[in-house]
């Protein structure tokens, strides 16, 4: 992780993995086969890619019970408390339908309706991600989605991690299917004999999952095409180097393409963090991944002024932003672009990943300039309500007809003018 000046930065964005032409063609073939052959195709792809032979995909009641029994009570309590925190936060995001009436009898409004069904993809592989279950399922439930369908890749033994099943059990999600990859996305989008189709698909995955989400978008909605994780830390001389280094590495261990950046005006802090990162790397279990990330995408930006430091952060538009300064709340109003903002030395990024309550599904790769974290609004539709009275139409019919003719749409004009016959 090298110290540099802002002027040395060529670009703060990384290219999102679009996949190769061969990968895109493979994903298109998988989707086509799942659409035409349903469960049979899903079983074939699961055996080919996950090395698991599946007779049935749906997680049984016995599997849920075994997962619960295998985990100690303290861990169960931790997950339950985290779920409660996340639900409480998202409850505050709910919006209600509204109506506004005028004296002339006009009624206008907005009707909020949850989508019928949401699909959640939970990554598999070597790690278990109960936090992904919480962050994707809870906002859907709070929004009022009636059916949540979860898919997650099985291991070669045909099982999924106990922590993932426990998280689903805590939330009351019963439709959990042991399917991963592009075939899982296709099954959620179009349905099979056993896996029901949904209206929206959320959740992270590998390049094949991302490509599949791109392909099915339009037939169903998706949350986003997420890039590698990232963190930026805006810090002054009051920050502790060992804490800043640890927080930078918390993202670097995600992926070799993750980005970690410290932005500061303190040369003393910059040099101390540079040294501390190397010290801490040596003891990390995922040191190879973190070291590659730090070497390729890590940076310490030493700015000449605090104004320049804040400008650098807003240019980055980071997924995660920590503000570790003497008065972080004073800096909050200056930040225009960030997915999640962590204020003060006790608000380490993993606090938000797992426990605090806000959603950790965040815009990456600079898209925080125009995107928001996954939230309750992502699982509802908003319908406009229009009710004109006779008085309101009489007052405005000629204006509306003239507007329509201005656009060359005579049938539009006649549609409102024909109502004049009612009051002759």
Q: Which residues are annotated as a binding site?
A: 121, 183, 206, 229, 251, 254, 320, 353, 407, 412
Side-chain-side CA neighbours of 381 within 13 Å: the count stands at: 13
The token duo for 285 is: 């279990």
Reading the block at residue 294, the tokens are 């730090």
Distance CA 250, CA 275 (A): 16
CA distance 217 to 232: 31
E strand or H helix at 393, and its extent? helix 390-406
> The tokens of 268 are what?
């003393």
| Burial of 171 (C-beta count, 10 Å sphere; 0-12/13-18/19+) | buried
Catalytic amino acids? 319-320
Q: Give dist(CA 262, CA 294) in Å, integer.
A: 12
Cα 115 off chain centre by: 17
Q: Rounded to the nearest 10 degrees, how much is the dihedral formed by the CA atoms of 234, 237, 241, 245?
A: 10
Give the whole-angstrom CA distance, residue 261 versus residue 366.
Answer: 13
Contact 99, 109 (CB under 8 A): yes
Phi-psi region of 354 (alpha: psi -120 to 50; beta: other; left: phi over 0): alpha
Contacts 24+ apart (CB under 8 A), 246-249: 246/280, 246/348, 247/322, 247/348, 247/349, 248/1, 248/273, 248/277, 248/294, 248/298, 249/277, 249/280, 249/281, 249/284, 249/290, 249/294
Encoded tokens for 132: 């992904």
Distance separating alpha carbons of residues 249 and 274, to the nearest angstrom: 12
DSSP 11-41: -S--------HHHHHHHHHHHHHHHHHTHHH
- Give the SS3 label for residue 151: strand
Please report, to the nearest 10 degrees, the dihedral formed by the alpha carbons of residues 233, 237, 238, 242 taken in order: 60
Question: 72: which residues sit within 8 A by CB, 6+ positions away?
Answer: none
φ and ψ at residue 222, rounded to 5 degrees: -130, 165
Extract the annotated binding site for Zn(2+): 251, 254, 353, 412
Is 165 in contact with 63 (CB distance < 8 Å)? Answer: yes
């Amino acid at each position: 992780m090298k110290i540099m000046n802002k002027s040395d930065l060529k670009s703060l964005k990384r290219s999102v993995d679009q996949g190769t032409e061969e990968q895109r063609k493979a994903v298109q073939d998988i989707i086509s086969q799942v659409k035409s052959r349903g469960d049979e195709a899903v079983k074939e792809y699961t055996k080919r890619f996950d090395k698991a032979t599946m007779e049935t995909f749906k997680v049984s009641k016995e599997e849920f019970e075994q997962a619960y029994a295998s985990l100690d009570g303290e861990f169960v309590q931790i997950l339950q408390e985290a779920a409660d925190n996340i639900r409480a936060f998202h409850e505050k995001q709910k919006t209600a339908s509204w109506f506004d009436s005028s004296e002339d009898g006009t009624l206008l409004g907005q009707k909020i309706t949850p989508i019928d069904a949401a699909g959640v993809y939970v990554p598999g592989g070597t790690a278990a991600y109960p936090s992904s279950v919480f962050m994707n399922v809870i906002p859907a439930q709070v929004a009022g989605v009636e059916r949540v369908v979860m898919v997650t890749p099985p291991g070669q033994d045909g099982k999924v991690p106990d922590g993932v099943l426990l998280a689903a059990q805590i939330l009351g999600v019963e439709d959990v299917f042991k399917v991963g990859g592009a075939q899982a996305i296709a099954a959620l989008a179009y349905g099979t004999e056993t896996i029901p189709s949904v209206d929206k698909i959320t959740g992270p995955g590998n390049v094949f999952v991302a490509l599949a989400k791109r392909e099915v978008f339009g037939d169903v909605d998706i949350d986003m095409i997420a890039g590698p994780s990232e963190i930026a830390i805006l810090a002054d001389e009051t920050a502790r180097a060992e804490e800043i280094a640890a927080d930078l590495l918390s993202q670097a261990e995600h992926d070799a393409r993750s980005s970690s950046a410290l932005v500061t005006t303190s040369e003393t802090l910059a040099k101390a963090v540079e040294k501390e990162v190397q010290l801490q790397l040596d003891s990390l279990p995922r040191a190879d991944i973190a070291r590659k990330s730090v070497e390729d995408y890590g940076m310490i930006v030493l700015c000449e002024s605090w104004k320049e430091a804040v400008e650098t952060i807003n240019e980055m538009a980071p997924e995660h932003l920590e503000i570790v300064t003497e008065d972080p709340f004073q800096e909050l109003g200056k930040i225009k672009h960030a997915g999640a903002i962590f204020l003060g030395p006790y608000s380490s990024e993993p606090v938000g990943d797992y426990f605090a309550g806000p959603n950790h599904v965040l815009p990456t790769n600079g898209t925080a300039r125009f995107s928001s974290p996954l939230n309750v609004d992502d699982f509802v539709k908003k319908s406009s309500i229009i009710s004109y009275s006779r008085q309101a139409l009489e007052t405005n019919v000629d204006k509306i007809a003239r507007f329509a003719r201005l656009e060359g749409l005579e049938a539009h004009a006649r549609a409102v003018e024909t109502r004049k016959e009612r009051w002759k």
